[in-house]
Amino acid sequence: MTREEKQPSLLHNYRTLVTRVDELCRRITDEFGPYLVCGPGCSGCCRHLTLSWVEGFALAEAVQALPATAADAIRNRARSASATSPCPLLADGLCLLYAARPIICRTHGLPLLATATEGTRRVDFCPENFRGLATLPGSAVIDLDQLNTTLAAVNALFVAERFVGTAPATERIPMAEALLLTP
């Protein structure tokens, strides 16, 4: 058994979190599917985001796993992206790395409970979704504060292990820069 096989990937904790988020989103989608409009081609919310480092490296690894021509095309899109442009992974309304998309993209459009600026908690979701539904049960809502706290902890562990003694200068990385990383 090689060293890599014995030692879990630095992205193991992140992938475990993604699996749990996907399970939660799938449960909500299965239960409330008739009230959800978001789907393939629905891309109005796809913006050029900044990511945690662990998400950036997960995307970079996904790019590296592509055939060379597809990976080069994504890297070229990333090089020409600006902070105000749509997501560099968006092509013809679809995500080029859908299976590896960040957590924010996985939960987008679904009901998110978050603390607002004034300290109150509120639920927000795509205004196209949940039309005709009088109320949302708690089972349909994702606690964004809890999710972000968990992601921050996973990211902190990743940064500590990946950047031993030399933490990155910024807390987050633009998606275009992440797509150019060498995992």
pLDDT digits over 123-146, tens only?
998 888 888 888 888 889 999 999
- Domain-located, residue 119: yes
Is 132 contained in some domain?
yes
Residue 52 lies in a domain: yes
Q: Please give the pLDDT value at position 6.
A: 41
Q: pLDDT value at position 8?
A: 61
pLDDT tens profile 34-56: 888 877 777 778 888 999 999 99
Look at residue 51 and tell me if it is in a domain.
yes
For residue 134, what are the contacts with CB-CB under 8 A and spacing of at least 6? none
Would you state the pLDDT for residue 5?
Answer: 45
For residue 183, being part of any structural domain is answered with: no
- Residue 172 placed within a domain: yes
Four-point Cα dihedral 63, 68, 69, 72, nearest 10: 50
**In this structure, what are the phi and psi dihedrals at residue 172, rounded to the nearest 5 degrees?**
-130, 165
Domain count across the chain: 1
Question: What backbone phi and psi angles, to 5 degrees, belong to 77?
Answer: -60, -40
Is 25 a member of any domain? yes
DSSP state of 131: T
Domain that holds residue 114: 3-178
Of the candidates 138, 48, 143, 145, the residue with the CA atom closest to the CA atom of residue 102: 48
Task: Characterize 135-170 residue by residue with b for buried, 16 or more Cβ atoms within 10 angstroms of its Cβ, and e for exposed.
Answer: ebeeebebebeebbebbeebbeebbeebeeeeeeee
Question: pTM to 2 decimals?
Answer: 0.89
Output the six-digit token pair for 152: 């921050």
Residue 4 is predicted with a pLDDT of 43
In a domain, residue 113? The reply is yes
